[in-house]
Structure 1
Amino acid sequence: MTDTSRGTSAKDEGRPLRRDAALNRERILQAAHEIFGRRGLGVTLDDVARHAGVGVGTVYRRFPTKEALVRALFEEDLKRRQEVAEKALSNPDPWEGFVEFLVSMTGDLAENRGLHEVIMMGSHSSEPIERARGGLRPFLGELVRRAQESGQLRPEVTPSDFPVIAHMLSAATQFTQGERPDIWRRYIEILLNGLRQRPEDPPLSTPSLTDDTVEQVMGFRRPPAAE
């Protein structure tokens, strides 16, 4: 990468891009979404450039590092996940709201390997991404609380169970090696049947992971407290 490409990127910042530059940026983001989704975050900017059909210099002018591209792609995606959670909380039926969020979130993670790595594994983290990741937890806790208070979700279930569930569903999708990317839908139906409270069901005998263990495994860094 040359000093010229760095300078161009800095000069573009804070002002509207020309139409051709804006189209290139969108093409790069779309290509990154597709290739990160299929192959994860191990791909290079050269890989993204080839997939987008642009020169690698064009990618570097818009995104001087892979971390900058990851931030641009996934910060917005994480914001959309919070919007889904807010919509689920507004559902008057606590169980339906819980299922709505769980299906949407786990489906995205199962079908998008890059998003899975950003949310579940702390890959290519940044302060805005950390805040967005951490911001999902209160929504999940409230969805669980509402569904349990309505008597529809097993009382032993905790929010820390859901990162494990997301990993399980993602593993099911990867197991098919692209043959059945939708297979997670079958297994979430099985899981939801197990999560739903029924009077005849025996209690779960194995405790869930602690929040500290989940945060350690997921690579969470708590955002600094606001002053």
Structure 2
Amino acid sequence: MTRPLPRSARRDAHDNRARILDAARAVFGEDGLGAPVREVARHAGVAPATLYRRFPTKRALIAEALTQQRRACHTAVRDALADPDPWHGFQSLIQRICELHAHSRDFADTVMTAFPEAADPTADRGGALPAVTELARRARASGRLRPDFVVDDLVLMLMAHQGVLGVPSAARPAASRRFAAYVIEAFRAPPGTGAPASLPPFPELRPSGSPGPS
């Protein structure tokens, strides 16, 4: 029969886990999901063996550490879809996504499913994708979103927004807001009856056999 851990040992284990998750968010937020686990352990002030006792794989660590990021993404999508003005909701989603990314490099990794099979952002993206698709449909129907917009254009947006993370951190929020404003104008349908300039075909961003943009 396994005896329960003493209260002090349980408290130490809980504290170690919290420090590891805080460190993972900080390290992944600054360096992205490619940062090594040993850097997370160093940042947390624990031995790598201690980290691996709590999280046997890097994927398990990512899945737990990015829970807050995934929730923030879902909240942004849900709030945008609830807006009675679909174009305003669409704009607010762009602004919020860029804001989240500007504060954390791993946000783009989460959205673009860098570790799909482990962190399981694929499932989150799958849950959010119908809502974003519906928001885009409503915004197109209002005549204010260009008709050739596809949801995967948001992935291209994040890939381009990655450059904003290279500016000094103090200037990053303002640079991100300016970038979002440019992107919104690019997605906006032209006024009157003018047709938007035609776009090149959407590039293949997924492995062969995966579903395409919708």
The two structures share one fold, judged by TM-score above 0.5: yes
Cross-structure match for 1:214: 205
**TM-score normalised to the size of structure 1?**
0.76
State whether structure 2 residue 198 is matched by structure 1 residue 205.
Answer: yes
CA RMSD in angstroms comes to 2.8
State whether structure 2 residue 135 is matched by structure 1 residue 133.
Answer: no
Which residue, 47, 57, 60 being the options, matches 1:55?
A: 47
| Residues 125, 70 of structure 1: alpha-carbon distance in 2 compared, 3 angstrom cutoff | same
SS at the partner of 1:152?
coil
Separation (CA, whole Å) in 2 of partners of 1:204 and 1:43: 40
Separation (CA, whole Å) in 2 of partners of 1:116 and 1:178: 17
Separation (CA, whole Å) in 2 of partners of 1:141 and 1:134: 11
Deviations 1:58-111 (A, max 9, x none): 212211221110111124532431232122111111112112222222332344
Separation (CA, whole Å) in 2 of partners of 1:73 and 1:220: 30
State whether structure 2 residue 172 is matched by structure 1 residue 181.
Answer: yes
**How many residues align structurally?**
203
Separation (CA, whole Å) in 1 of partners of 2:169 and 2:134: 34
Deviations 1:166-195 (A, max 9, x none): 111122323x26563322221111121232
SS at the partner of 2:66?
helix
The share of aligned pairs that are identical, in percent, is: 33
Question: Which stretches of structure 1, 4 residues or longer, exceed 4 Å deviation after superposition?
Answer: 219-222
**TM-score normalised to the size of structure 2?**
0.80
Separation (CA, whole Å) in 1 of partners of 2:59 and 2:13: 20
Which range moves more in the overlay, 151-160 or 103-112? 103-112
Contact 1:173/1:180 (8 A) holds in 2: no
Can you give the 5+ residue segments of structure 2 that lack an aligned partner in the other structure? none
Can you give the 5+ residue segments of structure 1 that lack an aligned partner in the other structure? 1-10, 223-227
Separation (CA, whole Å) in 2 of partners of 1:160 and 1:112: 21
